[in-house]
């Protein structure tokens, strides 16, 4: 059977006290709904349907360009009613998996087990054992342990409220049967809504097997209703990512103080200090050391390189044996060869620095190519932007750039050239020669510094 995933994402999320729709609230740098869509894609479904409502256009705009089917729930009449909105675009021969836009951490392996337990005459349901089931629908079983129905908390009897097995809401069922059951739903309950959970009793009545699957952890089925729960989920996500890094061989100075907002691949004997933030795709080679308070965003760092504290690297490539920082910044498009030193308060943008070159202090290199074995003195700037155009600076192998240089692009510094400290260069510097440009130094006899008038 083809798989159709339906994600219910129409809730307003009033308790968030935010203008941002609940399913767009960020978890690890991505919208809650983005996490659910990503997990759904890992199941290789024929289609993914998102039922949206509050803040609908904002939600759709956030996922523009993604291959999603959208269904509007104009009135919030319950989960059963929400699922009905997606069913017209789903064929009777398909299998429907129901997920929730505010339940982002369900394991794709769990979902695969749930799907495997479903067939033409069988549906499946994800449940969880809870120490405190407050707020959850209760799973009611008969004396033989078979599921009979789900009772929502507001409709539960005192005896049913003592049941510890809770409903996640996540289920899978054949579309043909699901469509029939949804058509029979009634809203005669405490909330006046069409509960999707009522189809369980209908399945039992129709002698359709209801296969329960107990979730491996509570985190898999935790939803988000307010900022406190969002923070709790963030902590669980962070802990899971930290565990993955440690199992992959990384040493973390403090697993509780690391944020992974993307995919991180690590080599052997990598060390990561506290308060490091990873975003996008990050690769760390063998024996890389990352200092505290570092941001790595879509970056690859070669073996044996060190990133010192408070550095920011984004959309860049760092070769092996490099030393970065502290307080260095690599902006998008930067690429370092082997054994390159980029020191404190040095900024690169769209710059290639080849093997063995150094810029150790207070320097800006933008739109530049720096050859091998170059030394760039403190306070050097490539003046690459004239307000309209950005121009290139090329520095040849073995060049020595004096401190406090202004290199006005477009400009080329030749191989093994040297430039004098304090120079402003507007023309190319030839190979192997010293080039400098300084105004004449003067001392003005008799000059006095202005003095402020005393206050009256």
Residues with catalytic annotation?
361
What are the angstrom distances between the C-alpha of 206 and each of 84, 96, 115? 20, 18, 20
User: What helix, strand, coil percent values describe the chain, rounded to 5?
Assistant: 20, 35, 45
Query: How far is it, in rounded angstroms, from Cα 37 to Cα 277?
Result: 23
CB 174 within 8 A of CB 1: yes
Nearest to 129 by CA among 172, 156, 167: 167
Nearest to 38 by CA among 29, 46, 48: 48
DSSP 119: B
Query: How far is it, in rounded angstroms, from Cα 330 to Cα 314?
Result: 6
Give per-residue burial for 427-439: e unless 16+ CB within 10 Å, then b: eebeeeeebeeee
CB neighbour class for 137 (10 Å; exposed up to 12, middle 13-18, buried from 19)? buried
């Amino acid at each position: 059977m083809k798989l159709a995933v339906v994600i219910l994402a129409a809730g307003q999320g009033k308790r968030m006290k935010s203008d941002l729709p609940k399913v767009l609230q960020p978890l690890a740098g991505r919208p809650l709904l983005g996490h659910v869509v990503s997990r759904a894609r890992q199941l290789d479904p024929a289609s993914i349907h998102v039922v949206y409502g509050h803040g609908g256009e904002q939600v759709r705009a956030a996922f523009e360009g993604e291959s999603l089917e959208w269904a509007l729930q104009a009135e919030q009449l319950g989960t059963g009613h929400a699922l009905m909105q997606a069913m017209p675009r789903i064929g009777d021969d398909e299998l429907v998996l129901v997920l929730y836009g505010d339940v982002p951490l369900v394991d794709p392996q769990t979902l695969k087990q749930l799907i495997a337990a479903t067939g033409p005459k069988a549906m499946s349901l994800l449940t969880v054992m809870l120490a405190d089931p407050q707020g959850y629908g209760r799973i009611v079983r008969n004396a033989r342990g078979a599921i009979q129905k789900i009772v929502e908390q507001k409709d539960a009897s005192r005896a049913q409220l003592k049941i510890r097995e809770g409903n996640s809401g996540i289920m899978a069922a054949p579309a043909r049967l699901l469509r029939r059951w949804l058509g029979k739903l009634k809203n005669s309950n405490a909330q006046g809504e069409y509960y999707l959970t009522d189809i369980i009793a209908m399945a039992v009545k129709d002698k359709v097997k209801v296969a329960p699957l107990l979730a491996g952890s509570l985190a898999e089925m935790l939803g988000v209703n307010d900022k406190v729960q969002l923070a709790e989920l963030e902590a669980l996500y962070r802990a899971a990512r930290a565990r993955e890094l440690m199992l992959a061989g990384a040493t973390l100075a403090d697993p509780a103080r690391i944020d992974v907002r993307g995919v991180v691949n690590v080599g052997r004997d990598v060390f990561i200090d506290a308060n490091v933030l990873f975003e996008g795709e990050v690769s760390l080679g063998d024996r890389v050391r990352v200092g505290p308070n570092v941001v790595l965003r879509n970056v690859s760092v070669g073996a044996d390189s060190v990133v010192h504290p408070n550095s920011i690297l984004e959309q860049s490539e760092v070769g092996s044996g490099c030393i970065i920082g502290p307080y260095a910044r690599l902006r998008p498009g930067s690429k370092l060869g082997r054994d390159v030193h980029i020191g404190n308060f040095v900024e690169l943008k769209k710059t290639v620095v080849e093997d063995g070159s150094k810029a150790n202090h207070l320097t800006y290199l933008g739109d530049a190519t720096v050859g091998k074995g170059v030394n760039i003195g403190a306070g050097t700037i490539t003046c690459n932007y004239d307000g309209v155009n950005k121009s290139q600076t090329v520095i040849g192998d073995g060049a020595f750039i004096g401190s406090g240089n202004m290199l006005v692009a477009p400009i080329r510094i030749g191989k093994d050239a040297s430039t004098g400290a304090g120079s402003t260069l507007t023309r190319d510097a030839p190979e192997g020669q010293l080039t400098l440009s300084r105004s004449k130094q003067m001392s003005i006899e008799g000059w006095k510094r202005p003095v402020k008038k005393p206050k009256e």
